Amino acid sequence: MPSRAATPAPIRHPAHVRGAGSPVAPPADAPFGSSRRLPLMSALALLLALLACATARAADASLQAPVVLDSGPVTGLALPGLHAYLGIPYAAPPVGALRWRPPQPPAAWSEPRPCTAFGPGCPQPAQKPEGRFSEDCLTLNVWTPAASPGGKLPVMVWVHGGGFNFGASSQPEYDGAELARRGVVTVTLNYRLGPLGFLVHPALDGESSHGVSGNYGLLDQMAGLAWVRRNIAVFGGDPDNVTLFGQSAGSRSVSLQLLSPLSEGLFRRAIAQSGGPVIGSEYLSPVFDGDRPRAARMGLELARRLGADGAPDPLAVLRAATADEVVRAAACDTGLFAEEIFFSPVFDGWALPADPGAAIASGRMHPVPVMTGSTANEGAAYLGREKNLDRARYETFLKSRFGARWREAAAAFPARADADVPGAIDRVVTVGANVEPARFMARSQASRGRKAWLFHFSRVPGTDLARRFGAHHGVDLAYVFGNLEPPQAYDATDRELSRQVMDYWTNFARTGNPNGPGLPPWPACRPGSEPVMDFGDAPRLRRELFPRQADFVAGVSRFPREARP
């Protein structure tokens, strides 16, 4: 995992840009916070690696005439029906003295800069030796319809998942060409990950003008959104019509941005796929609860591992370490039964409210339309490497999540025999970390007269992962982006479902309402009515999802009851 940028690889795109030159990261449908030691992902990771390392340049691509950004001119690729600009710097490299500081503007340039290859991914635990990673990773990518210059098209900005420790905007499943072909300017961005993106440490608190550290990855996302607001018009996009959307850690990011006072005005709508701002993450793993004292203890442990503990200037030691050394020092097992050092967003009182429940209760979530939901088997893939899942281990799992109320949890999510345990854990994660957080967010918005729509993905395609784990975490990505690969794993039903999903998503980006001609009606939530659009073999409206179990999770939440409208 080099700490300097590698030479960009050429782009491969059979009909549009397809992830070439990208770092080899875990697949986007890897579980939220998944470890590099998850063997169940190995086959899919290998497939993505082969795609990412392809280097053929298709004959129909050419350099596009420069467009002028606030930092300088860039050229991109002219592709059939669209233009693609890849690896555009939106912030200065966060290296040296800028490591663990808020993002700064990129240095300006005067000559046209070729933006025809994805930038490297941010440092992370390596999946393959071919992976390209660098601290100089704060880049984004733009796909825009060819006829869009001078237009005011809706903009969709994607935040990738990966448990805040893995992933990159260049992963093939995030290719934005099909969305662009539907008249939407599509942006995907990188942000700092793991210890380089979310370290909390007393010495960093001391040098911060706000007195807090951490959340640098969230600040990167805000910088990317600010870049979009300043520059997207030259690509034909409307800076006043931006939809922020993401999945897994990207969905949690979207949900947290809805709570951040620093992101107000940077986007107009939000779509959160499998991850909310509060309530649920601790049911996935206790280390995801955003607790600042816990994060500070983890930061001190990382400093100890890097030899900075007790040093006269611990930050000098930490900043002198290579990115690879920092990432390796933070390496841990993040399975469902692990409670180790881990780095993710914290409720710091500056970038995020110190008490998110109270913030939601008082209406401080941004007043924008929201779509939010999850898949039917969110927890299944997390269990792929677990052995000997019996009722005793299930009891341990429940105690770590529900404390003294674990017996009530066992009654709500029963496992009467050892064979029932995987399904019970799957349901705890599905409902606790996803279904109830989505309902919580939708209720909060609807109770204040704001529009919110709930969805659920239950369609099981013919992929190897879906045959094993059902409608698993991340199964929705192929349908949202229209990248149904490998093609033989998807049939005509999948293609039609993807068309409908993309119509709902782009309608929402365009107007703030997912409904449109030729689509089954999808009513918004309102007090006392929380319908859910279930994307199974075809879109089908359901009255509610797992109400008894969702109510139980809401009832034992650590957030105040008044935060649950």
Q: Which residues are catalytic?
A: 248, 378, 473
Peptide bond into 202 cis (omega under 30): no
Strands 139-145 and 185-189 come out as antiparallel
- State the Cα–Cα distance between residues 147 and 180, nearest whole angstrom: 11
Can you say how many angstroms the Cα of residue 58 is from the centroid of all Cα atoms in its chain? Answer: 30
- State the Cα–Cα distance between residues 436 and 470, nearest whole angstrom: 20
| Short-list 186, 83, 193, 179, CA closest to 137 | 193
Bridge partners of 456, per DSSP, are: 374, 534
**H/E run at residue 85:** strand 82-89
Amino acid identity at 177: A
Q: What's the DSSP call for residue 407?
A: H
DSSP line for 35-76? -TT-GGGHHHHHHHHHHHT-----TT-EEPPPEE-SS-EEE-
Which residues does 520 contact at the CB level (< 8 Å), separation at least 6? 533, 538, 539, 540, 541
3-state secondary structure of 197: helix
- State the Cα–Cα distance between residues 342 and 127, nearest whole angstrom: 18
46, with CB counted inside 10 A (0-12, 13-18, 19+), is middle
DSSP line for 337-395? T-----------SSSS-S-HHHHHHTT-S----EEEEEETBTTGGGGTT-----HHHHH
